[in-house]
Structure 1
């Protein structure tokens, strides 16, 4: 499975994920005006379902990381076990994920007759929000590696979708938990948007969450790196395709 093929899957998967997040946010705001709670419920429900479906769709090709923090953890944990991403693959995945996220936002805006790009004015700044992103991201990374290491990867689409859907509600930040998605959502001034000035704080918090997740995995699943090729779900690499 060539790197170009896998990177294209990460691009398309992340684009569709962000299109689902932004598009459902726009729909929710139009269908339920004046009821923010219902809007969030609609947005969370659509995102959770879309995420599970996208993991099923793109997982066999690239693993369906759809998240630079997941990809970075995959490289870090798998490097000594000879599994997971290489540095070159990590760079390709991360670039494809960020480009896909921006593309997905533009696609959602155009589908709803909005300008392709309109910078968000929704400020999301504060220690409580950053803490929420640390928690959301750390939980997500531990979840996907725990499932892979315990040979329960078949449950990943449902489990990850459920986790993100729940984290919309139990975190004050509504669980972005993904640097690529965070960057992409800065390009839309709609329900799901985040002001560009708020992006660095969220991304920094997500990276901290990733580091904490790696530390937790070292304690709870010390051999998690051996299952890096099964994150988020088992997929073909150039090496395994030849076996």
Structure 2
């Protein structure tokens, strides 16, 4: 239960930060899309570092792809993975509603921001593949806080070097559909994005298995640990 609550709360704050900072950026820098993206990416990277550091002793994946890769690697069982994924999706929905309300918008507004095309879809594969490599590679470090800084730094950078601005998270993608703002994504674009994220996660899991023969638990504190 504690792990599920941690995933729900963490994903809710993550989505609130992504959507909320996008709305703030849009209002503060209405004529400069590049500056809006910079503001949005810095806020997202910073909140990821904070949330992972705070919740890592309980559970700090905040991403169904990461949880599914954990299942593939045997770090969690199927039932636990299912509960955590549901909690992540639910947390994302809570977060987007809260973000909308904080900025005096309707609790739910369906996004009209179409995202797609082969370039952006490839960008989601690359973004998610890279995220999986960073997460499970950083877990090999003897200093567990390395994961938080590695993930926060990677996502901040991936906002810029991927054509899709690095959603790399099915729970966040679904939630962002419910905000017709800077960070939103149109419903028709959600399924292709999620499909590419799952492909990227699968390739990432294969690379982790190839590159790291020794389980992470043998060299570092697990990503999810129930105290």
Tell me if both proteins adopt one fold, taking TM over 0.5 as the criterion: yes
Secondary structure, in 3 states, of the residue corresponding to 1:207?
A: helix
Which residue is 2:67 aligned to?
71
Gaps of 5+ in 1: 79-83
Provide the aligned length of Structure 1 versus Structure 2.
227
1:51-95: per-residue Cα shift (whole Å, max 9, x none)?
100001111111x000000000001112xxxxx211000000000
Q: Is residue 165 of structure 2 the alignment partner of residue 174 of structure 1?
A: yes
- Contact 1:74–1:225 (8 Å) recurs in 2: no
Distance 2:220 2:176 in 1: 29
- Contact 1:70–1:141 (8 Å) recurs in 2: yes
- Contact 2:141–2:220 (8 Å) recurs in 1: no
- Contact 2:50–2:148 (8 Å) recurs in 1: yes
Q: Is residue 191 of structure 2 the alignment partner of residue 204 of structure 1?
A: no
Distance 1:112 1:157 in 2: 28
Which residue is 1:58 aligned to?
55
**Residue 107 of structure 1: CA displacement?**
0.3
Which residue is 1:39 aligned to?
36
User: Which contiguous aligned blocks of 4+ residues in structure 1 show a shift greater than 3 angstroms?
Assistant: 224-232
How big is the alpha-carbon RMSD for the aligned residues of Structure 1 and Structure 2?
A: 1.5
Residue pairs, 1:131-210, within 5 angstroms? 131-210=122-201
Relative to structure 1, the CA distance from residue 217 to residue 166 in structure 2 (aligned partners, 3 Å threshold; closer, same or farther) is: same
Q: Is residue 21 of structure 2 the alignment partner of residue 24 of structure 1?
A: yes
- Contact 1:77–1:225 (8 Å) recurs in 2: no
Distance 1:204 1:231 in 2: 27
1:207-237: per-residue Cα shift (whole Å, max 9, x none)?
00011001111221122364699453x522x
Distance 2:179 2:215 in 1: 37
Distance 1:178 1:6 in 2: 18
- Contact 1:133–1:173 (8 Å) recurs in 2: yes
